[in-house]
Chains A and B, each alone.
Chain A
Amino acid sequence: MASLWEWANPHKFMTWTAKALPIISIAAAVVTVIGLIWGFFFTPDDYRQGATIKIFYIHVPTAMIAINAWLMMLIASLIWLIRRHHVSVLAAKAAAPVGLIMTLIALATGAIWGKPMWGTYWEWDPRLTSFLILFLFYLGYLALWEAIEDPDTAADLTSVLCLVGSVFALLSRYAVNFWNQGLHQGASLSLDKQENVADVFWYPALVALFGFVLMFVALVLLRTRTEIRKRRVHAIELRERVQG
């Protein structure tokens, strides 16, 4: 475990991410483009959904990342609260805008798909509603960071908010199973073969999902590096102000 903490040391983090970031970014771009081109151009229409099945290749990966980004923020926030590790809370802060955009894409693409399939853009269905609340939690989390000037106080309060919001991240994932009502169907990308979509749709969706995961990692690393630098600038400017 000691080596894990050593890797998350700010200086060491900046060194290894400087090398890893270009590789992960290129891999993210290549894999995402392959997954989406495969899904968009080289898969047939679904017998029930027609061409709207193509929305599945962006909706499912972004929805999965929207939920799991919050869970990543939860772990990073817990590390901050327990070990006072600065890089972990800065990684949580860096992940929030990425999670927010993924949630927004999942909501927008779901609504666009819902109109022709369900006959409505929106329904107060358990999964859709918990997803909307998750989106509002992302907004609240980011607003709280901006509202508090002292970085450590902001880190404490946003970490507590993250713990509370985790309930909605879990509800977003399991709402269909908990309530078993509403319009939204169960998992489409599952390890359970019975529950899955047909292989012809499943494989490109898996590639697209892997690409979106890499994109999430690349963006979080880039933004965490920015947050570490911002903190350093803040410390220097504070010292300058104290010295007059």
Chain B
Amino acid sequence: MPDLGKYASDVLAAYGITAALLLGLIALSVVQSSRVKKRLKAAEERRKSDG
């Protein structure tokens, strides 16, 4: 860990907020993608079974 001196809290807060926001966005995008994929699969199966 580099010596951040008196700015340690500022630098770590900047990296922490960035990591939290980016990981949140990535997680949300992946979860939405898998949910919609399941919904589409179910809708296409219904369509096939209805002829």
Inter-chain CA distance A97–B4, complex, in Å, is 32
0/1 per residue, B29-41, Cβ < 8 Å to A? 1101100110110
Partner of A226, one of B25, B33, B44: B33
Inter-chain contacts of B26 with A (CB < 8 A) = 219
Q: Residue A59 at the B interface, CB < 8 A?
A: yes
Q: Residue A6 at the B interface, CB < 8 A?
A: no
0/1 per residue, B15-32, Cβ < 8 Å to A? 101100110111011101
Chain B residues bordering chain A, tally (CB within 8 A): 33
Given known A-B contacts A229-B36, A233-B43, A219 and B29 have beta carbons under 8 A apart: yes
Q: Are A40 and B10 in contact (CB under 8 A)?
A: no
CB neighbors of B among A207-242 (8 A):
215, 219, 222-223, 225-226, 229-230, 232-233, 236-237, 239-240
Inter-chain contacts of B28 with A (CB < 8 A) = 97
For A45, give the chain B residue with the smallest CB separation.
B5
Q: Are B7 and A50 in contact (CB under 8 A)?
A: yes
B25 to chain A, nearest CB (A): 5
Given known A-B contacts A62-B18, A226-B32, A230-B36, A219 and B8 have beta carbons under 8 A apart: no
Partner of A229, one of B5, B22, B37: B37
Partner of B11, one of A55, A62, A236, A240: A55
Q: Using a CB–CB distance below 8 Å, which chain B residues touch chain A?
A: 2-8, 10-11, 13-15, 17-18, 21-22, 24-26, 28-30, 32-33, 36-37, 39-40, 43-44, 46-47, 50
> Can you offer 10 A-B residue contacts whose CB atoms are under 8 A?
A51-B5, A52-B10, A105-B17, A105-B22, A215-B22, A219-B29, A229-B36, A229-B37, A233-B36, A243-B50
